Structures are given as C-alpha cells and as structure tokens.
Amino acid sequence: MLAGQQQRLQADIRALVGRHGRDRSALIPVLQELQTMHATISDYAMQVVADELGIHPAEVYGVASFYAFLRPVSRGRFVFRLCGTISCELAGKARVARQLENDLGIRFGETTADGRFGLEWASCLGMCDQGPALLVNDRVYTRVTAEQVHAIIDECKGTFGAHAPQAVHS
Amino acid sequence: MITVNSKKTPFTFESVEPESGLRAALAMSRADIIGEVGACNLRGRGGAGFPTGTKWNLAAAARVKAGGTKYVVCNADEGEPGTFKDRVILSEHADLVFEGMTIGARAIGATVGIVYLRSEYVYLRPHLEQVLATRRQNTLLGTDIGGLAGFNFDIHIHMGAGAYVCGEETALIESLEGHRGEPRNRPPFPVDTGFNGQPTVVNNVETFAWVACILSRSANWFKAVGTAKSTGYKLFSVSGDCREPGVYEFPLGITVAELLEKVGGLDAKAVQVGGASGHCIPASEFGRRIAFEDISTGGAVIVFGPGRDMLAVARNFMEFFVEESCGQCAPCRAGNAKLLEGIEMLQRGDCSMQYVQELLGLCETMQLASKCGLGQSSPNAFVSIVKHFKDEIMGRTLAH
C-alpha cells in the first residue's frame, strides 16, 4: 500500500472514530462505514481501528470476520447478494443464480478481476413473499428473473462513478 | 426500494388512533402500565412467547448500576427464514413501534432506546430516521415527553451486520456492545444485566406495536381475542406455494387449515410454521392450532405444494443453520454440519435407517445441550420431516 493511501485511510478512520466515539460499541459502525468507503477492510485498516479504539487488532479481526456483511475480504464495488433461503428457492432462485454467474463471469464467493462486482449468497433477506430476492449494496430487487439479471448489472455499470468508492452513508 | 408490502388483511394498527396509547400511559403509574400489559397476557411476538408484562416487571424492579441508565431495545433483526412482517410494520407503522418503545421506557424507567435493525433492511433507515425526527419535533421523544416533567427518552438506530444469531437477545446485546454476536450464558438475564451491564428490555418490533394498541384500547379488548394461553392478534408472514403470499393479521389459535384457506394454499402437502427453526406440519395435522400451546411461531408460514421435495427443503434449512451457527458451542457447531451431511447421504440414497436413528439421537443432544435457541431449535425441521415423510426420503436413487 502506498504511503499516500495509508495516510488517507488513517484520516478516514480518525474521522469515523471522531464521529462515532472511542467506545467499544463504535467498532461495528466504524467498520461498516469504512467498508462502504473502501469496499474492503484491509489488515492495515483493522490495525489502525484497533489503535484508535485502544483494543487488540485480533479483537477487530474477530468482529469483522464474524459478520456476513463485514468480513475482511475485497468484495467489489457492487456486492450482489442473492437470497438462498427456502421461499426464494421455491420461487426459482436457482436459475437466477446460474444467470448471475454467467453474466458476471464469476462464481458465488468470487469478485470480478476489475474489482467492480462481487457475488455472494445471503441468508433470508425478508422478501419471502416476493422472491427471488436480490440485494445489490443497499438496493433490493424482488421477483427477479434470470432474464432481468443482465439489466440489473447494466444499471450498476451505468451508475455515475462506478469505479469510485461507494458514497458514505451517514 | 420496496413499495409493495403485500398486506393482505386490514391491520388493527391502522385503526388505532396515533399516540392515544402513549397518552393513556402517561396518565398512569408505572405499575399500572405494566399491570395492563401483564393483564392481557401479551406474549413476545418474535416467537419465543415470553410474557411481556413479566419481562417489564423484572426490568422495572432491577436496579441501575452506578452512573448508568436502563435501556429499551427493539429487536428488528428479523432473520428467521420466511419472516417479513417486521419489515412491513417498520415501513408502514414505525410510529406505533416507537410509541410502544416509549411506553416501555416510561414503564421501566429507561432513558435510552435502541432499534437494532438488520443490515438487510438498511434501506428502511432513512425513513425510520425521518419518523424519529418528527417525533422529536412533536415532543414525543426527548425531554419532558408529552409534557410529563422528568420523562426523558430518546431512540437511536443501530445497524446489524448480517448475523441471524443476533436475533437472540443476548447475542444482540453483544453485537450492540461491539463484539461478535455470541450468545451469553443466562442467567444473568438482560432484564437485570443487559446492554452495558444495565437492566435492558429487548422486545420484538411487533410486540411494541401491540403494546401501543393495548394501552390505547385496554387489556380486555386484547384478551377477548385468541385462546386463553395465546391472547390477541398476530401478524403472519405467508410465503411459498399459495395464491396470495403476504402479511396477514389473524387471531392466535387459528388452525393451519383455516389459514391455508385464507391464503389460497389448500392443496399443500406440508406447511413449515415458525420458519427454519420451526416445525414442518404435514397435511394430516392441518387441524392443529397456531398458538403458543400447540404450534408456536413468530409468524412465519411457508407453504409447500404437492410436488415439493421435502428432503430438499430440509437441506435448505440445514445449509442455513450451518452458515448461521455462531460456532461457540459444540452441539450446534458440529451438530448442524453432521445433520447436513446426513441429508446429503439421504439425497444420494446411501443412508441406513440405523444412521437416521443416530442422527435423531444427535438432534436430541442438540436440543438439550446447545447454548442458545439457535442450536436448540435448528434440528426441529429435520426431525419433523424425517418423522412425517419417511416414505419420501428413504431409499432414494440418484435420479430422484
């Protein structure tokens, strides 16, 4: 990592800690926003967060690796999470899954080489009455068909600044 | 953004006059508020069915440790497969939920309220923040709420991060405190030692909404509906093979058959009541009642049509639990993986009846020895599917 990038990361983390406080309970909100900004939580970032909150880096890693929506891996600018749970299965998630793999060119659990798209299974998204359900970052798509997958991906590609970090939600 | 909320029946929540419950509560003593909630026998709408009045009574009696405050936490970590009624309540009746939380705060003497919202519902957050801001403007939150001097209470939203187990109240509190969502030993219970070690009431979204209705209408109104042990109305999340999936309000005690008739699923071969951790009910038992004393539920009803492969259903549930087990205790961590492996053997058709019996023995161990509700209830679906659909799952060939 370049020194300039490290400094930027440090500054971002300090700003987040300034906003959420140094309490242990700030850890998850800080990690969530950091991930939104940088699309990943790097080892270095976890070290800085640990220093800022005065806890051991292993504690930060323990938390980050526990939660499905955190996990310290690069997962892409747009994370596609297809609901894998029963009602969406009954509603035909298998064909949507196959088409997502075909159109993105990756398997579940992978990220595209350009770092733009990640593909994962999600546990129940709570859209059971209108499955199959797909979550793309914060956006929910329901009654998704295999045919629509391509358009959803295109919509992401057309998003302004698709290569830039995600906007900060505050 | 989800605009279609699939409400299939009118909700009582629509007809209750806004803030009338809170107004009534502010004119009552704390003991009387808890008395009213206790008298109607309201039980937790998240699924566990703990009497709300009893919980509040314990929290009200508990003493705050030095320099702290009591907390009211709304469990909006609706992760049970097949459950989505809290999403609908939060999108359309958020005010009623916050009203119920405020009544709870008054009853137990809390000053801080927290909504633990699952990250899958992050798109609801701007709406909820807006509702909270409006309530602050109208002095329904903040200091001297509703003109009652000294009644100070505010609510903030804390996002979950994708963990089913955080629906368990002690895991939820761990998560709030910035830890891994691993359930705690109980006792001590959260009503005594909860968030930051302080007395904390954790209730489901729907429970708070009903509290507001009960204070508005009266305990007797609520008690008149349902059965003796399961009073009142309940929201049901209905999905799967039926004509009209969506959210329904029915009195507790409704039979599975009555429910199926209303949702257009009478040809079902089985119904999963209570989500992945609930029970699979075959057609021969559709006369049973959905109530805490018979088939207990947080409101999830998943309908399986005539052609469905029940082993595939069991496998989906078990994959879910293998993914969502927190891994803290061995019965759950290893047990779910073993059950999934067994289901895969059944699917390949190379599982002896003896081994199935051993797996059922493992299920019993998990139900007894797991630390929290996740591992205690995760074998339920497997056990009930093996029990009711043995002819369908034994002796399979790969072509099945």
Q: CATH number, domain at A103?
A: 3.40.30.10
Is position A71 within any domain?
Answer: no
| Minimum distance, in Å, between the CA of residue A49 and any CA atom of chain B | 13
A82 and A152 inside one domain: yes
Chain B positions touching A32 (Cβ under 8 A) are 119, 159, 161
Question: What residue in B sits closest to A125 (Cα-Cα)?
Answer: B120
pLDDT at site A168: 35
Is position A165 within any domain?
Answer: no
Q: At what angle do helices B353-369 and B330-348 cross, to 10 degrees?
A: 160
| Minimum distance, in Å, between the CA of residue B39 and any CA atom of chain A | 32
Contact B245 A129 (CB under 8 A): yes
pLDDT tens for each residue of A114-137: 889 999 999 999 999 999 999 998
Residues of chain A with pLDDT > 70, as a percent, come to 92
Selected residue of B114, B115, B175, B239 to mutate for chain A interface (largest A Cβ count, 10 A): B239
Instruction: Pull the structure tokens for residue B217.
Output: 């209408």
* Domain B13-223 homologous superfamily, CATH: NADH-ubiquinone oxidoreductase 51kDa subunit (3.40.50.11540)
Contact B316 A122 (CB under 8 A): no
Minimal Cβ distance to B123: which of A32, A68, A140: A140
| Minimum distance, in Å, between the CA of residue B240 and any CA atom of chain A | 5
Minimal Cβ distance to A66: which of B163, B237, B308: B163
| Minimum distance, in Å, between the CA of residue A142 and any CA atom of chain B | 8
Is position A167 within any domain?
Answer: no
| For chain A, counts of helices (H) and of strands (E) | 7, 4
Chain A positions touching B316 (Cβ under 8 A) are 84-86, 89
CB of B34 within 8 A of CB of B59? no
pLDDT at site A165: 47
How far, in Å, CA of B292 to CA of B253, rounded?
A: 8
pLDDT at site B67: 87
A46 and A103 inside one domain: no
Is position A163 within any domain?
Answer: no
pLDDT tens for each residue of A53-72: 999 999 999 999 999 999 77
Minimal Cβ distance to B317: which of A31, A86, A142: A86
How far, in Å, CA of B74 to CA of B86, rounded?
A: 11
Nearest alpha carbon to residue B143 among B153, B134, B135, B133? B153
H/E element, A70? none
Question: What residue in A sits closest to B317 (Cα-Cα)?
Answer: A86
For chain B, domain boundaries: 13-223, 233-304, 310-393
Q: What is the pTM of this model?
A: 0.95
Which residues touch B322 (CB under 8 Å, ≥6 apart)? B336, B337, B340
Is position A145 within any domain?
Answer: yes
Angle made by CA atoms B367, B370, B372, in degrees to the nearest 5: 105
A44 and A101 inside one domain: no
Range of the domain at A88: 78-157
Is position A73 within any domain?
Answer: no
Is position A144 within any domain?
Answer: yes
Sheet holding A139-141, edge to edge: A117-122, A78-83, A134-136, A139-141
Domain count, chain A: 2
Half-sphere exposure of B357 (CA within 13 A, CB side): 3
Strands (E), B252-347: 270-273, 279-282, 300-304
Which residues touch A120 (CB under 8 Å, ≥6 apart)? A75, A79, A80, A81, A82, A108, A109
Nearest alpha carbon to residue B116 among B162, B81, B60, B58? B162
A86 and A62 inside one domain: no
pLDDT at site A166: 47
State which amino acid sits at residue B84: F
In CATH terms, the fold of domain B233-304 is Ubiquitin-like (UB roll) (3.10.20)
Q: Pick from A11, A44, A66: which residue ends a domain?
A: A66
A52 and A15 inside one domain: yes
Residue A170: pLDDT band by 50, 70, 90 thresholds?
Answer: very low
For chain A, the residues whose C-beta falls within 8 A of a C-beta of chain B are: 23-29, 31-32, 62-63, 66-70, 84-87, 89-90, 121-131, 135, 138-140, 142, 169
CATH tag, B310-393: 1.20.1440.230
A104 and A58 inside one domain: no
Q: How far apart are the first and last CA of chain A?
A: 27
Chain A positions touching B162 (Cβ under 8 A) are 67-70, 122-123
**CA B8 remoteness from chain centre:** 20
Instruction: Pull the structure tokens for residue A70.
Output: 């955190």
How far, in Å, CA of B314 to CA of B283, rounded?
A: 17
Instruction: Pull the structure tokens for residue A45.
Output: 């970032």
How far, in Å, CA of B209 to CA of B89, rounded?
A: 8
H/E element, B15? helix B12-15
Helix (H, G, I), strand (E, B) or coil at B191: coil
A49 and A91 inside one domain: no
Selected residue of A85, A139, A144, A170 to mutate for chain B interface (largest B Cβ count, 10 A): A85
**CA B200 remoteness from chain centre:** 18
Instruction: Pull the structure tokens for residue B159.
Output: 């996002």
Residue B281 backbone dihedrals phi, psi, to 5 degrees = -105, 120
A93 and A57 inside one domain: no
Contact A90 B179 (CB under 8 A): no
**CA B356 remoteness from chain centre:** 31
Q: Pick from A66, A96, A118: which residue ends a domain?
A: A66
Task: List chain B residues with pLDDT less than 70.
Answer: 1-5, 398-400
Minimal Cβ distance to A126: which of B78, B178, B316: B78
CB of A49 within 8 A of CB of A13? yes
Chain B positions touching A31 (Cβ under 8 A) are 161
B261-300 core/surface letters (b: 16 or more CB in 10 A; e: else): ebbebeebbbbbbbbbbbbbbbbebbebbbbbebbbbbbb
Which residues touch A29 (CB under 8 Å, ≥6 apart)? A16, A20, B158, B159
- What is the sign, positive or negative, of the torsion defined by CA atoms of B106, B110, B111, B112? negative
| For chain B, counts of helices (H) and of strands (E) | 17, 9
